[in-house]
Amino acid sequence: MHKNENQPAHDFDIQARHGADSMTDKSGKSGGSLVVPRGLWRTAWKTEQEWYESARQLHDLMCRQFGLTDLDGKSVLDMGCGTKLSKLLIDERRPIARYVGVDVNSDVIDFLQHHVSDERFSYHHIDVQNDLYNPTGMPLADYSCLPLNGEQFDIICLFSVFTHLAPHDYHQMLRVLRPHIKPGGRLIYSLYVQEDASHRLIHALQNNDLQTVLRILEQTEKAFRKLPPQSRKLIEQEFISRTGSDIKSLAETDINDHKGGAAGVIRELQKGLSEKNILALARKYNELLGVPVQDYIDRRPDQPLLHVVYSRWYAHKLIEGTGWKALSLNMPESAIQHYFMCCPDGEDQA
């Protein structure tokens, strides 16, 4: 079961603290197991087995996405680390060259510093403000980089951290992480992304799922035809300015004629429209239809930052100017929400 935006992200637990039952062995090279008290799990998983399994899935997802069989020889910065990846790496003696965990929660970092003796593992507490996790800390905006002595990593990961970041911290987090990536390194972070027609269109195009593309275009066409002439004109202008193509071919296409106009439109979309352009267009289109997609929603105002959701467009937009380039925004999988894969901006994406 993955956590999706319909499931409240109760992935923090500040009630329980580690207590006398926190039996731990020294870990690392000796191969001991790290026994993490329930209060330091930092996630919503109900059973230890689920929690542990989610760590395995995240580890395996990283390996798969980075084309690796394991993390052998790789250095990893885990920002907002919690405890579960440490537990997995240590308990299963998974290969890794270096692991640095950073968290605003001092209990988590104290625990890991005291119970992990393997020298490849380091932990740092940072007193960064977060309404949910650390309300009295220093604004992230006051940091230009992290207190890591300039160390750089092959991989930077943040799992279920952007799910609790407001837009200004989203952008700033990416900025402060940028100096800590090695050339050729990769960033992966999960977040909640609001689903709308634009994402289905992008996904379908990426997967050459012609039937879904046709269905979406059909809905789009119907909606388009219902618009007042002035709005249609605006959309047409927007489409032309962003894509260089003529939206009339979309509006006037006989959508059921797979060989004719619709197929042509799809081909145009596949080759002519970047994801960014489709997003911008879909956003404008929604606005004109009177159903704007909200760029940022804090779903539980009574518990700020417990569960925040971004529109696709805004999630991309906030990456601009941070020194990162989005390679892909991926759909939720088991144990993970949507997740971005990024590389340093300007680097070859091959």
Ligand X SMILES: C[S@@+](CC[C@H](N)C(=O)[O-])C[C@H]1O[C@@H](n2cnc3c(N)ncnc32)[C@H](O)[C@@H]1O
Q: Minimum distance between the CB of residue 41 and ligand X, rounded to whole angstroms? A: 7
Nearer CB in complex with ligand X: 3/74: 3
Contact letters for ligand X, residues 69-108 (x by CB under 6 A) = ----------xxxx-x-----------------xxxx--x
Q: Are strands 324-330 and 338-344 parallel, antiparallel or unpaired?
A: antiparallel
Structure tokens at 118: 């393997």
Nearer CB in complex with ligand X: 164/199: 164
266 by Cβ neighbours in 10 Å (0-12 / 13-18 / 19+) ranks as buried
Question: CA 199 to CA 311: how far, in whole Å?
Answer: 10
Interface pick for ligand X out of 164, 199, 307, 338 (rule CB under 6 A): 164
Of 64-72, 159-167, 175-183, 191-199, which part binds ligand X (CB under 6 A)? 159-167
Assign 166 to helix, strand or coil.
coil
Question: CA 222 to CA 78: how far, in whole Å?
Answer: 46
Q: Is 45 in the site for ligand X (CB under 6 A)?
A: no
Question: CA 297 to CA 250: how far, in whole Å?
Answer: 32
Q: Is 171 in the site for ligand X (CB under 6 A)?
A: no
Interface pick for ligand X out of 43, 86, 220, 243 (rule CB under 6 A): 43
Block residue for tokens 């605003």: 104
Nearer CB in complex with ligand X: 123/133: 133
Q: Is 159 in the site for ligand X (CB under 6 A)?
A: yes
Residue 35 CB neighbour total at 10 angstroms? 16
Of 160-168, 176-184, 212-220, 230-238, which part binds ligand X (CB under 6 A)? 160-168
Structure tokens at 103: 């968290």
# residues near ligand X by CB under 6 A:
22
Q: Minimum distance between the CB of residue 57 and ligand X, rounded to whole angstroms? A: 11
Nearer CB in complex with ligand X: 112/288: 112
Q: 165-199: b or e for each residue (b if 16 or more CB lie within 10 Å)?
A: bbeebbbbbbbbbbebbeeebbbbbbbbbbbbbbb
Nearer CB in complex with ligand X: 90/255: 90
Contact letters for ligand X, residues 217-246 (x by CB under 6 A) = ------------------------------
Q: Is 59 in the site for ligand X (CB under 6 A)?
A: no
Nearer CB in complex with ligand X: 273/335: 335
For the chain, give percent helix, strand, coil, nearest 5.
Answer: 40, 20, 40
Q: How far is CA 198 from CA 7, 52, 192, 212, in A?
A: 22, 34, 16, 12
Q: Is 12 in the site for ligand X (CB under 6 A)?
A: yes
Residues 116-145 that bind ligand X (CB under 6 A): 128, 130, 133, 140
Structure tokens at 177: 């992480």
Q: Minimum distance between the CB of residue 33 and ligand X, rounded to whole angstroms? A: 18
Assign 134 to helix, strand or coil.
strand
Structure tokens at 144: 């230009």
Nearer CB in complex with ligand X: 74/84: 84
Binding site for ligand X (CB under 6 A): 11-12, 42-43, 79-82, 84, 102-105, 108, 128, 130, 133, 140, 159-161, 164
